[in-house]
Structure 1
Amino acid sequence: MTALGLASPLELLEELKRRVRALQRLQFQVVEVVGVLDQQGAAETLGYKDLVEVFKHVLHWDPKVSRRKLAQARALCPTVTPSGATVDPVLPLTAAAMAAGTLSEEHVEVVAEAMAELPAVAEVHLVQYAQHHEPRSAKAFCKELAYRLDQDGPAPAGPEPVRPRNVVRRQWKSGRYHLFADVDAETGAKLDALIDPLAKPEPSDLRHAPEREGDAFCEVVGLALRASRHHIRGGERVQLTVTLDYEKLRTGVGAARLDNGERIPMDQVRKIACDCAVIPMVLGTRSQVHDVGRRTRTINAGLRRVLVARDRGCTFPGCTRPPSHCEAHHVRHWANGGETNLDNLTLLCRRHHDLVHHSDWEPEMAGGRPVFRPPVFVDPDRRPRRNRVNVVA
């Protein structure tokens, strides 16, 4: 074609259409490969729990993208039975349209979602409409088609029992912690019973009710942290770990880091220090409490504290899990002569702990810090990788 800058708008649109169709055909070819990997059980062969984790390491896909590709593959790709017979795709017309480049991934999602509730005969109508309209319009058409195919609605039935659900959404945003909870009535009543006495206004209290209740909720959290019946590994009570430089604490300048990677200003840290026990630790020094040696494979409270202070969470490359979600892993297995000390331990979340034990990811220590050599299919040179997320502030 003529250089794009010299083309007319109509020529450019025609070229754009051609390239988009080529892209959509390529996307289907990607889905085909994903489908074959899924049917072969490739994740288990490679020592992984699922393909989502494989794609994260090999293709750097977000888990949401991987799950979408897998869902599309299971709907659009033929399957092979244990006897060797080939079974047609769940959505053969949708597969053919995407293979021809006339349907996008977004269209496929709309059609697949609608076909979960519709008879197979409806697919031809949905595909024909989706090929000529944007996904949003196709979704509205699917809804209308479902209504026309079943105008009377489902047969009357007794009301299904409502399943109790307890939902909590948590999010860090701009240095604040946003919390939404939808819990059962019993839990709500218990929380009210805890908050109400603490939220009563004092004679000179200028706070509005939401502020008083917010402060009361924070006090309830503090009470829960101090409850002696709650423990973590190592036999210690639940505690909040704040990592900082002593000079910053002394001068009140700078910020400290929480377990989850969030940073809090030094004035808040100084307030915490007034109400909590301070456990000083100097990394790199030797102490018997931090070096169990070959006596046992389990770690004690003191050794875990030092491990948490050094690793700050899961040390697997790219992982953001905090220390409270992690287990101690022997870099050289205890059964193979590895010692239980700081030079042979690292923190791993459960998912990556399993991965290290069942795949070709190999941890090792370099300069007193854990690094990981990936499998050959991730990096042919197996260059060591370090977690760059949980680093010192």
Structure 2
Amino acid sequence: MIMAFDKPPPTPSSLVLDAPPAAAHSDSVDELVAAYGELDAVLDRIAQLSADRCTDAEVVALAKANEVAGRRIASLGLRRLMDVADRDAWRLTGAATMRMFVANHLGVPDVKRRLDHAAALSETYTVTGQKLTPELSATADALAEGAIAPEHVSVILDITNRIPASVEIDDQVAAEVALAEHARTLSPSALRQVGTRLLAHLDPDGELTDDRDRARQRSMTLSRQDAQLMSKLTATLDPITQAMLDVVLAKWAAPGMNNPDDPHSPSGSIDDTDPDTEVIKDAAQRDSRSQAQRNHDALNALLKSVLDGGALGGSHRGLPPQLIISITETQLRESAGLGVTATGADLPWHDVVELAAKADPHLAVFADHTEEILYFGRARRTASRAQRMALFARDRGCTAPDCDQPAMHSEAHHLTDWAEGGRTDINELGVACPKHNRAAGPRRDQWTTRLDRTTRRVTWTPPATTQPINGPPTPRINNIHHPDRALTRAQPPNHD
């Protein structure tokens, strides 16, 4: 464990389309812009009106009309997203990718779902300009009518993605049409039940499912930490992976093994302990954990073994592949607060202390001096490990506005591009994820990065191309990785 003190990217593949036909005439453009202005005015008018004098039947009808209108707006919104994606117009906002535009500039909470909907429900064009129907044509029509909700679309996408690839294409189309029709009258949960039965009908014996389907469905997702700093691990495993996991859990999650609450519990695999001794039997009798808890503790012990054994190699993006934790001098002094890892996870203070007691930590203190060389000028282009450690302690993660990528998934970025004379000095470097690293540079369509000498924060100034949209560009900073600083600014002054 290591502890420390404080050419633009392509469009996502799911949205890459061929060039659409020639743009509409200017009068059509003016009409479209005017129509959105009228819509805004209508919404303002509706917001100012009261339903107090409406009858019960009328307020029910108004609620239904509002829901239908919202669904139709959602359908049009998908078309607008595809307009932006077709032209790579998101670059005008300074976003590094289409996904970042949707998340940061449109404020969409579930970006993947919105882009998946746009890709499946929108028309596309061939090289010759021929219009192609949406992948889920019946579903697109139903959403455009306001007959179904985006939640229905998510269910239909999930079901159709699980239809075996070897099913006849006509049957796949018929299944989508049937699901879209059922969605008009069923709730999303009831529609999922219908979809499950439909899958069973298409492949009753499971004989049509092949390796292509299993490869398409395999996944493992680690959620973000909740208020208790806990995370959920969700996985869909292929048969071989499950078989191997079963063997690992049988050895590492056996009763009595790797029990963090029992100081005498054997660690590692059950085969590492002499089976003739009473150690395993006694530990098993003391073990009150559930099977799920034993599985968790087995994974914990296995990960420790991998980290301690050096199986991850010597470096990852310039940082050692170990548990690297950033703490502040105040936290050390007060023995309170959270430690932040290079992968962006938060650790309670008592866990940091326990880890430090079992490790040989490397303390990098960045004050007035250091024994490590942090200033190389033009002598080298790549940042050293000591510089990466210093950057993690200062920045914690990507410094680009609204980016949540942690330091372990980021790079050392020259604030002045190396090709433009930038120096590999600690005060001329910042943390940036690969996408934002490429988004910064000397061109008009790139961000400008500087280090504020007063706050010691990296500032990002939007490219000049954003001026017509957002006005004169102003430097921005990223507060995502520093919630403690936001809390400090929010506290009222002490007048005692």
The equivalent position to 1:373 in structure 2, one of 456, 461, 470, is: 461
**Does structure 1 conserve the Cα–Cα contact (< 8 Å) formed by 2:222 and 2:231?**
no
Give the whole-Å Cα distance in 2 for the aligned partners of 1:224 and 1:186: 16
Residue 324 of structure 1 corresponds to 408
- CA 1:136–1:383 in structure 2 vs 1: closer, same or farther (change >3 Å)? same
- Give the partner amino acid of 1:310: R
User: Equivalent of 1:382, from 473, 476, 493?
Assistant: 473
- Equivalenced residues, count: 388
Cα distance in 2 between the residues matched to 1:382 and 1:103: 41
Alignment counterpart, residue 448 of structure 2, candidates 347, 362, 368:
362
How far apart, in 2, do the equivalents of 1:204 and 1:100 lie? 67
Matched, 1:56 2:103: yes
Matched AA of 2:105? V
> Which secondary structure state, in structure 1, belongs to the residue aligned with residue 363 of structure 2?
coil
Aligned position for 2:269: 195
Q: Distance in 2 between matches of 1:162 and 1:80?
A: 27
C-alpha change, 1:190 and 1:168, in structure 2 (3 Å) is: farther
- Scaled by the length of structure 2, the TM-score of the pair is 0.64
Offset of residue 71 of structure 1: 3.2
How far apart are residue 293 of structure 1 and its match?
0.9
Q: In structure 1, how many angstroms separate the alpha carbons of the residues matched to 2:280 and 2:158?
A: 55
- Spell out, residue by residue over 1:234-256, the C-alpha distance to the aligned partner (whole angstroms, 9 max, x if none): 87754433333446435x63134
Structure 1 position 100 matched with structure 2 position 100:
no
Task: State the distance in 2 between where 1:221 and 1:169 align.
Answer: 15
- Percentage of pairs with the same residue: 23
Whole-Å separation in 1 of the counterparts to 2:422 and 2:93: 25
Query: What are structure 2's unaligned runs of at least 5 residues?
Result: 1-45, 164-170, 253-267, 485-496
Superposed, 1:35-184 pairs within 5 Å as 35-42=82-89, 50-62=97-109, 64=110, 66-111=111-156, 118-120=171-173, 126-141=179-194, 167=220, 169=222, 172-173=225-226, 174-176=228-230, 183=241
Looking at structure 1, the residues matched to 181 and 370 of structure 2 have their Cα atoms a distance apart, in angstroms, of 72
Instruction: Please state which structure has a larger fraction of its residues in strand.
Output: 1
SS in 2 for 1:371: strand
1:232 maps to 2:318: no
The more displaced of 196-205 and 367-376 is: 196-205
How far apart in 2 are the matches of 1:160 and 1:301? 42
Relative distance call for 1:332 and 1:110 in structure 2 (3 A) is same
Corresponding residue for 1:391?
A: 482
Deviation string for 1:110-145 (max 9, x for gaps)? 455566754545666554443334333444455666
Whether the 8 Å contact between 1:312 and 1:323 is mirrored in structure 2 is: yes
CA contact (8 A) 1:331 1:346 kept: yes
| 1:87-117 deviation digits (Å, cap 9, x = unpaired) | 3334444434433333322334445556675
Deviation for aligned residue 1:43: 5.3
1:231 Cα deviation after fit = 1.2
CA-to-partner distance for each residue in 1:13-63, whole Å, 9 max, x for gaps? 01112222222221221122123333345457888675222212220213x
- Listed one character per residue, the Cα deviations across residues 136-172 of structure 1 (whole Å, up to 9, x for unaligned) are 3444455666777x6x958967976996979575764
1:314 equivalenced with 2:414 (yes/no): no
Using CA pairs under 8 Å that are at least 6 residues apart, name the structure with larger relative contact order, 1 or 2. Answer: 2
Structure 1 spans left out of the alignment, 5+ residues: none
Q: Which letter maps to 1:225? A: L
**Out of 71, 88, 93, which is 1:24 matched to?**
71
In 2: Cα distance, 1:212 partner to 1:158 partner? 33
- C-alpha RMSD of the superposition: 4.3
Relative distance call for 1:204 and 1:5 in structure 2 (3 A) is same
Residue 334 of structure 1 pairs with residue 418 of structure 2: yes
Counterpart in 2 of 1:208?
Answer: 287
